Amino acid sequence: MVEWTHLPGLSPYADTLAAMEARAAAIASGDAPEAVWLLEHPALYTAGTSAKAADLTDPDRFPVFQTGRGGQYTYHGPGQRVAYVMMDLNRRTPDVRCFVRAMENWVIAALAEFNVKGEIRQGRVGVWVPRPDKPRQADGSMAEDKIAAIGVKLRKWVSFHGLSINVEPDLGHFSGIVPCGIRDHGVTSLVDLGLPVTLADVDAALMATFPRYFPEGGLQPNGGAACPV
């Protein structure tokens, strides 16, 4: 059974990372159950393994932490729900691509609880929202903004790190980086989309939709079909 924990207040990044790595090791050794931690961080930037120095455009704005997760730069801060997901893929399905797709579709299902249509884009991990209210792109395509980021790491096939959903963060804080290395698209949040959604609302949606993609002992990236995706 997956153990859910809500961490109150703002969780210091370095301490939380150390605790998460310790929990992942305990899961790998069979000494602890799988876990999902729901939390907020103080304002900061994190750099994944593919981060480029040029994408940190304002290095003195907030603390910057190097992480072992996949991906590039992202922002964490108040008003953003971070979910750290520690799953034993040896027991479920040892397939990174399948796991990431399950994470993306889990977020999409949670957003759908608020009538928000999240979408996946080939080559751009995370969840995107079409913005017909914004000017079209230079190529004539519809504008779209990122509402959720995903970055994971696996050690002994146990996952850690996870995802972040923008509920009501200060979107201006993303301007100190090129989020996830993508310059052509913006970022948004549930409140920016005009929805009076709280962190507690998002937590309830995440918990309600989780079993669809992570049934006990399994992994169903499309909410019913098993891997491969």
Is beta strand 144-155 parallel, antiparallel or unpaired with respect to 186-187?
Answer: parallel
Cα angle value 149/13/17 (rounded, 5°): 85
**CA gap 143, 137 in Å, rounded:** 6
Structure tokens at 171: 């979107």
> Of the listed 107, 180, 187, 190, which one is catalytic?
180
- DSSP assigned state of 56: B
**CA gap 48, 229 in Å, rounded:** 25
- The Cβ of residue 83 has, within 10 Å, a number of other Cβ atoms equal to 25
Contact (Cβ atoms closer than 8 angstroms) between residue 149 and residue 163: yes
Contact (Cβ atoms closer than 8 angstroms) between residue 138 and residue 125: no
Is 98 labeled as catalytic in the residue annotation?
no
Contact (Cβ atoms closer than 8 angstroms) between residue 225 and residue 213: no
Residues annotated as catalytic are 180
